Amino acid sequence: MFFFNFNLIATHKEKEASYALNKTCTLSLQWSHREVTCEMNYMEVRSTTSSDWQVTFQRPEKQMPSMNVSQARKRGYTFDSRDGRLLFRTPYGQPDSLSTEVEDVPVEAVYATVFSRQNWVVLMVDLLAACSMYEGYFDDGGYMMWKTPEALYPSVGGTQIRIGLNGDPMEQLIAEKRGYIVEKHKGTVHISIPYNAEGGHRKSFVIGSLYEFYAFDLSVEQISVDRDYVDTMLQFRRTLVTPLLPCTIFTHNQTVLEEQMFTIYLGNVPEDVMLVSIQLNEQDFMLPFTNTSTYKVTEVLHPNGTHGYTLKVLFHDPVVKQKFFIEDAVLQFILDINYTLAVLPGNESYYRLASIVALFTDVSPPTFDAVCSESGIRFKLNHQPFDYLWELTIGLDVLTSDLADRRGYILSNDSQSLQLDVPLATHGYKYQDVTLKGFSGTFEILVRVRETSEVQTSCGSAVVISSSVLHQTPRKTVLPPLSNRTLYHPSFLPLYRAAGLPRHSQENAQTGESLLPKPAQGELHPAVQPLRGLSDFSPAHPITPAECFYTDPTVCCGRRIPNRLSGLKVSERPFHNCTNKTHCCGEAPFFILIHFLRISSCPNKDLYGFPGAI
C-alpha cells in the first residue's frame, strides 16, 4: 500500500489558493521478483532482499570502486530497502550509466551490484536497469509510433505485452480492438497509437494559421521469464508528443438549388475551438443569432471529439449578392463568408474564409398565354422563381393594380399565377389593317429587365374581325362628341359636290313638294351658304377626323377616345320618320355616315366595332 500526500498551491488573479491532495494506492498484482520502471526522467529497479548494503557500478571498460549507500545518494542515486524489497533509482545521463543501441533502438542502461556482509556470508544482488530511449514519431497514417527492444532482459519464449494510456495498461488483444497496433519485428516491439485514442490529449494553437498537437501518456508492461523462472516486469512510462500539425478546418457546400437557400457546413473544428461570429458579404453578425434573424447556425457533434456548424441563408435575403447575365441567361447568388473562431481558453482568434456561388442557368423571362373572347383578351402567367428580375409594362407604364383599375383592366395576382383581362376598346390596343370589311389589332405586354428597363421580350395577342360582327356584339354604346360645327360648314362642300347634290331633290311623299329648294343657276346650295346669324361669311378650316373624339362609359372621368377613320361615305337618306323636318333635320336633306372600326387582337375571333354618325 502506498500513501501520497502533497499540497497544490495555485495562483489566480494574484491570489494564492492551497489544495491538499491525498492518494492511497494498493497493488492489484503481486510483486515480481524484479521490477524495472523506465519513467520520463529516471530509471528504477526493485528486487527482493534485506540487510545493509554496499554498492559498486559495473562498466565494460573498467571496475568501479564500491561505496556505501550514503555515498551513492550523494551522487544522485537512490537506494532503499523496505518490506523486504530493495529499490534502486537513478536519473538518466548519470556518469555511471551506459548509452548504446539494441536492434537500432537507443537504450540507456545502468548496472549496479549491491552486497552485504553478514557474518561469514556475503549477499550480492545485481541491479540492472535498461530502458528504451526512443522518442517516437507521428506517421502519415495518423498513428503515434514507439518501439523498444524485446530482449532487454533474458527471456524464454518471448515477452508478454500490455499497453494503455494514463497508467492503465490493458491486454494486447483488447488494445488491438481499440485501434492499437502491436507488432514484433526483427527483435523489436513496435507499438502504434491511433491519434484519436481514448485517453489522449490534444491542443490547438494559432501561429499564423491553426495548428494542433497530440500528447499520449503511454504505459507499457513487458513481462519476461528467464530460464531460472525469474520473472522481470519492465514498465515504461513515456509521454509521446506529436509535432505541430496543420489543423484543416474545411467548408462543404451542401446547397440544394431547389430549396432556394445556401447550406454551408464548417467541419473538423477541434473541441477546444468555438465559432463566435460570422461575416456575411462584409456584414458582421455575432453568435448566437437573434430569434428574429432569418439566418440559422446549427452545431453538429461527432464521436471523434470534433464538431461542426451548418449555416443556412436564403437566396433572396438582402445580404446575398446577385448577378444576372442577360446574354447567357445565367443568374448567380453570391455569399462571401468569414468565420471567426476562438481557441479556448485563451480566445485566440482564427479566421476561415469561404465564397459560395449558387448558379442557375436557362433563366428565361416570364411567358404569357393569351386567350381571346368576345369581351376581350385574357393573359395568364404562371409564376417562376425568378420573375422578380423583370417587370411588366403596357407601353412605358408598369403593370400594377392601380394602373389596371384606372384603365379598366381586371388584374388578379397570387403566389401561383398572374391573370390580366383586357376588355375591348380599353387603352393599350394598337390598330392596323382597318377597312370597311374588318380590322385587326394588337394588345402587347412588354417584359423589361428590372435593373435596366431594357425590353427583353414582349407578349402580344392579335385579332382579326369582319365588319358584319360589329353590330352583333352587344356592348355599351360609345357616344359621339358634341360639336359646334354643322353640315352647313363650308368644309363639307367637297362632300356635297362629290354627291352631286345640286342635281338631286327629294320630294315629300304626301305633298310632292321638294324638301330642298332647287338652287338657281350659280346659286350655292343652302348647306354651303354663310351660317345664319353671322354678319359676314367667315370660312372655317376643313374639319378633320382628328378633331372628333368619343366618350366611353367604361373609362374614367376626363378621358376621351380619339377618332380614327378608315373611310368616309356620303349617303342621301330620306327622313321618313321625321314629322318636323325643320326641327329634326334643319335644312339638311342627308347626313354623313362615318364608319370607324375598333381594333382587337385575336385572329379568327368575332369582336365588335361601333358606328358613329355626324
Provide DSSP, 244-295: PEE---EEEE--BGGGTEEEEEEEEE-TTEEEEEEEETTEEEESSPPTT-S-
pLDDT value for 525: 46
Across 112-121, 308-317, 344-353, least confident range: 112-121
Length of the chain as a residue count:
614
pLDDT value for 45: 85
Whether the pLDDT of residue 540 is over 80: the answer is: no
Q: Which residues pair with 90 in a beta bridge?
A: 43
Across 266-270, 563-567, 602-606, least confident range: 602-606
Across 33-47, 212-226, 403-417, 472-486, least confident range: 472-486
3-class SS of residue 482? coil
**Cα 101 to Cα 107: distance, rounded to the nearest angstrom:** 5
Average pLDDT across the chain, whole number: 77
**Cα 88 to Cα 113: distance, rounded to the nearest angstrom:** 10
Across 109-118, 160-169, 245-254, 528-537, least confident range: 528-537
pLDDT value for 386: 83
pLDDT value for 613: 33
pLDDT value for 134: 93
Q: Which three cell numbers stand for residue 163?
A: 499497453
Residue-range domain boundaries for the chain: 2-132, 137-246, 250-360, 375-463
CB-based burial, 117-126: b 16+ in 10 Å, e otherwise = eeeeeeeebe
Whether the pLDDT of residue 545 is over 90: the answer is: no
Domain 2-132 and domain 250-360 have a common topology: yes
Segment 438-494, tens digit of pLDDT: 667 688 889 998 888 888 777 777 655 555 555 554 544 444 444 444 444 454 555
Query: If you average pLDDT over residues 21-38, what whole number do you get?
Result: 75
**Cα 30 to Cα 82: distance, rounded to the nearest angstrom:** 16
Query: If you average pLDDT over residues 150-154, what whole number do you get?
Result: 84
- Tell me if 403 sits within 8 A of 394, measured CB to CB: yes
- Tell me if 438 sits within 8 A of 603, measured CB to CB: no
pLDDT value for 11: 84
Query: If you average pLDDT over residues 316-338, what whole number do you get?
Result: 91
For the CA atoms of 507, 510, 511, 516, the dihedral, rounded to the nearest 10 degrees, stands at -30
pLDDT value for 402: 92
Please name the residue that has the C-alpha cell 440544394: 256
Query: If you average pLDDT over residues 301-319, what whole number do you get?
Result: 92
pLDDT value for 346: 86
**Cα 342 to Cα 530: distance, rounded to the nearest angstrom:** 102
Across 53-67, 331-345, 410-424, 439-453, least confident range: 53-67
DSSP state of 597: -
Segment 107-132, tens digit of pLDDT: 999 988 888 777 777 778 888 889 99
Whether the pLDDT of residue 363 is over 60: the answer is: yes
Whether the pLDDT of residue 337 is over 70: the answer is: yes
Segment 170-220, tens digit of pLDDT: 999 999 999 999 998 888 999 999 988 888 998 999 998 999 999 999 999
pLDDT band at 533 (very low <50, low <70, confident <90, very high): very low
pLDDT value for 167: 86
What is the helix (H) or strand (E) element at residue 330, kind and residue range?
strand 330-343
Query: If you average pLDDT over residues 370-375, what whole number do you get?
Result: 78
Segment 218-253, tens digit of pLDDT: 999 998 888 888 888 899 999 999 999 999 999 999
pLDDT value for 113: 85
pLDDT band at 604 (very low <50, low <70, confident <90, very high): very low
- Tell me if 549 sits within 8 A of 482, measured CB to CB: no
Closest listed residue to residue 250, CA positions, set 166, 309, 294? 309
Residue bearing the bigger pLDDT, 593 or 141: 141
Q: Tally Cβ neighbours within 10 Å of residue 229.
A: 8
What is the helix (H) or strand (E) element at residue 569, kind and residue range?
strand 569-571
- 250-360: CATH architecture: Sandwich (2.60)
Closest listed residue to residue 97, CA positions, set 75, 116, 82? 75
Distances (CA, A) of 247 to 88, 141, 142, 306, 347: 44, 15, 13, 11, 17
Query: If you average pLDDT over residues 554-580, what whole number do you get?
Result: 53
Chain-centre distance of CA 162, in angstroms?
51
pLDDT value for 277: 94
DSSP state of 546: G
pLDDT value for 1: 61
62-66: list long-range contacts, CB under 8 Å, 24+ apart: 64/96, 66/115
Whether the pLDDT of residue 557 is over 70: the answer is: no
Q: Which three cell numbers stand for residue 415?
A: 403566389
Whether the pLDDT of residue 517 is over 50: the answer is: no
**Cα 397 to Cα 403: distance, rounded to the nearest angstrom:** 8
pLDDT value for 466: 55
Residue bearing the bigger pLDDT, 38 or 524: 38
Which amino acid makes up residue 554? T
- Tell me if 54 sits within 8 A of 252, measured CB to CB: no
Which amino acid makes up residue 163? I
pLDDT value for 210: 94
Whether the pLDDT of residue 603 is over 70: the answer is: no
From the candidate CATH numbers 1.20.120, 3.30.1460, 1.10.510, 2.60.40, the one assigned to the domain spanning 2-132: 2.60.40
